[in-house]
Structure 1
Amino acid sequence: MSDSVTWGRRGDLIILSVADALWTDLTAGGAVPTASAATTCPPADARAGYVLLGGRLVATTQASDGQWGVSESDVRQAAAELNAVELGGRDLIRIGTFRSAPRQALVKGAALRWRQRITREVQEPGDPGPGARREGGRTYHLAGIDWRQILVEQTREDTARTWWLPRAVVKLLDAIEYTETQWLQAARTRQESAAVAEPPSHFGQTQTVGGRQATDTTSPLRAYNGELKGRLYTVLSRKPGISQKVAGWACAVCRTTRAAVLDHCHEHGYVRAPVCHSCNTQERPDYLYRNDIRVADHYTHLFHTNTADWLRHWHRCPGCRTRTTLPLPHLAAWTAHVACRSLRPAHRNPSASHGRKPCGVLRVSWTGNQNAPRSCLLTVAVDFCPSGEHRVLARFLYREAVERFGVWLAETAPAVAVAAGPDRLDGLPAQFRPVIADTSGEGLGLF
């Protein structure tokens, strides 16, 4: 470590090879696997003026001997922040199907663009699979995270393969990609205006680069307080500058991450609120087709964890609020997951010494239209039962499902229920948007 001591006399700068060893050592006990060449292996590029480590942008400095270095304290702080991240077990987010997604060329330079990078890597011929290394020993990494070790592949019969990452890692990569984007925009602005100030390494903080201290020029996150209430998404999404305005809010659901998209109700067309990519994906139904939906385990998060927050978010849509209901796919999923909980059979769990596990996978199909409640019928069934039994659990008229939901809403989230009700029907669209037919493609905006 003599290089570290020598460089330390110039502040706390260490050369990149020492930074790599330090990063690997400090993050060895964390839940998120890290790469052994986080600052020297692409996409990291010291010549760009920074490297990405976990959720932190760390500035790079070139010494008179030509070697590049970074601040040791910044590396230690980035490692401590990453070590605090918990993966959350089965809480995964689908990154893409890659079935029909075109190959995307990477942008020149060190820009992270992590979704494009993962898409390109897994589409390459002779894909070596999770946890693999390229010829020459280079570890796949994004911001120092060895994503190959935590990438999950799922392949179902007659469907394309899908790739998933833990939600905590997705939120981390989204956040650092946004930070990098702001850094690059600020750098271009400085070049154009011949300014000398450097951008911050982390929002709300200051950074010393080359002996100069820079202040954060980005606005702090502000809480969403219903500023877009009652606005139609088709109108608002076309307004210039709306993306920058959305990015100024904190996510209206988790309230901890910068918002990235406008979530809206696809049945009624109203904007709900600005949300982060992670929360927008969490709300997304799995295997939604024109007239049926498979009720996946992630609905546990929506109907049993922070339930009041999600119900309040869904009822930001005036159409759902005045009718005291949810969009049809969500109402169908609620009917299967909550209202039919007592009807779902269980089988002995062979992987455990005792106990039982719920049978198969729930599926809800419907006939008719929710705008004609007397003709709309929801059918809750069980797929993939080991013994071939338990196909149909229950059938509910749409109106009955709404009434059951209203009773549950009043018990589960009284404040949300009080704010709902058919008292303001003025201005609601006469023609509702149809349910999306298929969500298996990449990049679809859903619910």
Structure 2
Amino acid sequence: MSERVMPGRAGGLITLGAADALWVDLTADRAVPTAPGAFTCSPAHARAGYVLLGGQLVATVRASGGQWSVPEIEVRRAAAELNAVRMDRQDLVRIGPFRGAPRQEGDEETPLRWRRRITRELQERGGPEQAVRREVGRPYHLAGIDWRQLLVEQHRDGTRRTWWLPRAVVRLLDAAEHAETQWVQAARTRRAGAAATESPSHPWQARDPGARQTTGPEDPTASPRPYNGELAGQLYSVLSRKPGTSRRVAGWVCAVCRGGPAAVLDHCHEHGYVRAPVCQSCNTLERPDHLYSNDIRVASRYTRLFHTDADDWLRHWHRCPGCRARTTLPLPHLAAWTACIACRSLRPTHRAPRGRKPCGVLRVSWTGSQNAPRSCLLTVAVDCCPSGEHRVLARVPYREAAERFRVWLAETSPAVAAAAGPDRLDDLPAQSRPVVADTSGEGLALF
């Protein structure tokens, strides 16, 4: 360590250099790799009054002599939180680049913006390999995490490259960005003179138990609260244009995992209704992996969506009144379910060290749309199969797939099935939005 850490010195405060060394020492050889310079190198800016460590925000203080310091106990607490994180390096989330993605509403005073930082860094330097070679010896991190050790680059169609990070790290960085946004908003409120007596100058300082608390649902300093269906039946096209929607969404906990802070409004692209506020990780988890507008790759994450966490995801998807009344799923999800569940027994296998392993990569395409069910046909195939590439496993009409799903839903999640169906119309909005117009399958962009 570059400086000796002396617990209890200066009221429990240690210098930034000592905090850097302590952070690396406490998190060495853990699941999530960390980087030196968490307090002293970009994008950390201790003079702003805080530093991000993992998913935590640690306040910095100006000690005697004008030297910036940090409470040692907070560094240790953040390190313990990070060390408890379990990470599956195979469970990846795409972080960019996204062609034609809308610009997310955000506060420019919030410097982390980690997705934008990673994309800009890799685009400017020609990719992760070149970036690492040019920055040898220079500590670089996001919230103290060495993301370069975890970044995975994949190529599509032989030319287009995409970047991925483990889901556990994405959730940590999302939590850090959320905590930073709350800090900036609270600091702005204090500068304006509002709620000066209720908001402490640093989050690590305990509040006075006898002080009157005035934080409400829209207060940026309030802890995220559970989502209880406040947006049920509302149209995304209307709600997304209302000012302050992003700030309101950030006040909820993710409605699916109920762990991380919500960041976006998930909605049904077929009917246009809002489902619920979710975190970035869950929003990416449920997004179909499109190859073309009517062709998706059935990624391994669907094992979780339709098996271990099926009840939570089915309940979430049926928050859309249109899908609930039809007792079905949006077409890309129904197609993935058909390939993953209904045609599971048809998928070829090959020998593996421990038994047999499903072969190739599942892919499902469709012709037509859900608006013309008689002509809509789902085709399930296996790519990269030793017995023949693009091997067609089954062709399933849309109506048959929907009926199979209804039977499976009743067996898998009876509570969700009981609340669905055309006779459950009590909570449908008075003015429903029709489904996406049929474009005969050409350029049909559901997501």
Q: TM-score, structure 1 length as denominator? A: 0.87
Q: Determine if the alignment matches structure 1 residue 338 to structure 2 residue 315.
A: no
Q: Determine if the alignment matches structure 1 residue 256 to structure 2 residue 259.
A: yes
- Give the whole-Å Cα distance in 1 for the aligned partners of 2:50 and 2:389: 59
Q: Secondary structure at the match of 1:124?
A: helix
Equivalent position of 2:316 in the other structure: 313
User: Per-residue deviation at 1:4?
Assistant: 5.0
Equivalent position of 2:351 in the other structure: 348
Unaligned runs of 5+ in 2: none
Q: Secondary structure at the match of 1:326?
A: coil
Q: Which moved more, 1:26-35 or 1:356-365?
A: 356-365
Structure 1 counterpart of 2:297, one-letter code: R
Q: How does 1:164-175 map to 2 (within 5 A)?
A: 164-175=164-175
Percent identity (aligned) = 70
Q: Determine if the alignment matches structure 1 residue 287 to structure 2 residue 290.
A: yes
Equivalent position of 1:137 in the other structure: 137
Q: How does 1:156-167 map to 2 (within 5 A)?
A: 156-167=156-167
Q: Is the 8 A contact 2:295 2:365 kept in 1?
A: yes
Q: Determine if the alignment matches structure 1 residue 432 to structure 2 residue 428.
A: no
Deviations for 1:238-275, whole angstroms, at most 9, x for unmatched residues?
Answer: 22222222222211111112111111100011111111
Taking structure 1 as reference, are residues 389 and 15 closer, same or farther at Cα in structure 2, changes over 3 Å only?
closer
- Give the whole-Å Cα distance in 2 for the aligned partners of 1:262 and 1:315: 15
Q: Which of 267, 277, 283 is equivalent to 1:274?
A: 277
Q: Is the 8 A contact 2:249 2:262 kept in 1?
A: yes
Equivalent position of 2:248 in the other structure: 245
- Give the whole-Å Cα distance in 2 for the aligned partners of 1:311 and 1:101: 27
- Give the whole-Å Cα distance in 2 for the aligned partners of 1:318 and 1:411: 21
Q: How does 1:56-205 map to 2 (within 5 A)?
A: 56-97=56-97, 111-125=111-125, 127=127, 129=129, 132=132, 134-135=134-135, 137-193=137-193, 195=196, 198-201=200-203
Deviations for 1:248-306, whole angstroms, at most 9, x for unmatched residues?
Answer: 22111111121111111000111111111111111101124222211111111111121
Structure 2 counterpart of 1:237, one-letter code: S
Q: Is the 8 A contact 2:110 2:180 kept in 1?
A: no
- Give the whole-Å Cα distance in 1 for the aligned partners of 2:329 and 2:90: 26
Structure 2 counterpart of 1:297, one-letter code: S
Q: Determine if the alignment matches structure 1 residue 39 to structure 2 residue 39.
A: yes
- Give the whole-Å Cα distance in 2 for the aligned partners of 1:413 and 1:314: 13
Q: Secondary structure at the match of 1:8?
A: coil
Taking structure 1 as reference, are residues 135 and 271 closer, same or farther at Cα in structure 2, changes over 3 Å only?
closer
Q: Which moved more, 1:400-409 or 1:92-101?
A: 92-101
Taking structure 1 as reference, are residues 128 and 339 closer, same or farther at Cα in structure 2, changes over 3 Å only?
closer
Unaligned runs of 5+ in 1: 209-213, 440-445
- Give the whole-Å Cα distance in 2 for the aligned partners of 1:337 and 1:128: 33
Deviations for 1:63-121, whole angstroms, at most 9, x for unmatched residues?
Answer: 333432111000000000000111123111100036678999x9987721111110111
Q: Which of 284, 300, 304 is equivalent to 1:301?
A: 304
User: Per-residue deviation at 1:413?
Assistant: 0.3
Q: Determine if the alignment matches structure 1 residue 362 to structure 2 residue 362.
A: yes
- Give the whole-Å Cα distance in 1 for the aligned partners of 2:444 and 2:175: 29
Structure 2 counterpart of 1:201, one-letter code: P
Taking structure 1 as reference, are residues 157 and 48 closer, same or farther at Cα in structure 2, changes over 3 Å only?
same
Q: Determine if the alignment matches structure 1 residue 231 to structure 2 residue 234.
A: yes
Q: Which moved more, 1:43-52 or 1:339-348?
A: 43-52
Equivalent position of 2:49 in the other structure: 49
Structure 2 counterpart of 1:432, one-letter code: V
Taking structure 1 as reference, are residues 421 and 300 closer, same or farther at Cα in structure 2, changes over 3 Å only?
same
- Give the whole-Å Cα distance in 1 for the aligned partners of 2:299 and 2:159: 16
- Give the whole-Å Cα distance in 2 for the aligned partners of 1:85 and 1:356: 31
- Give the whole-Å Cα distance in 2 for the aligned partners of 1:78 and 1:328: 43
- Give the whole-Å Cα distance in 2 for the aligned partners of 1:126 and 1:429: 44
- Give the whole-Å Cα distance in 2 for the aligned partners of 1:359 and 1:178: 41
Structure 2 counterpart of 1:321, one-letter code: R
Q: Is the 8 A contact 2:271 2:434 kept in 1?
A: no
- Give the whole-Å Cα distance in 2 for the aligned partners of 1:190 and 1:198: 9
Q: How does 1:378-393 map to 2 (within 5 A)?
A: 378-388=378-388, 391-393=391-393
- Give the whole-Å Cα distance in 2 for the aligned partners of 1:125 and 1:229: 45
User: Per-residue deviation at 1:422?
Assistant: 1.4
Q: Is the 8 A contact 1:3 1:14 kept in 2?
A: no
Structure 1 counterpart of 2:120, one-letter code: R
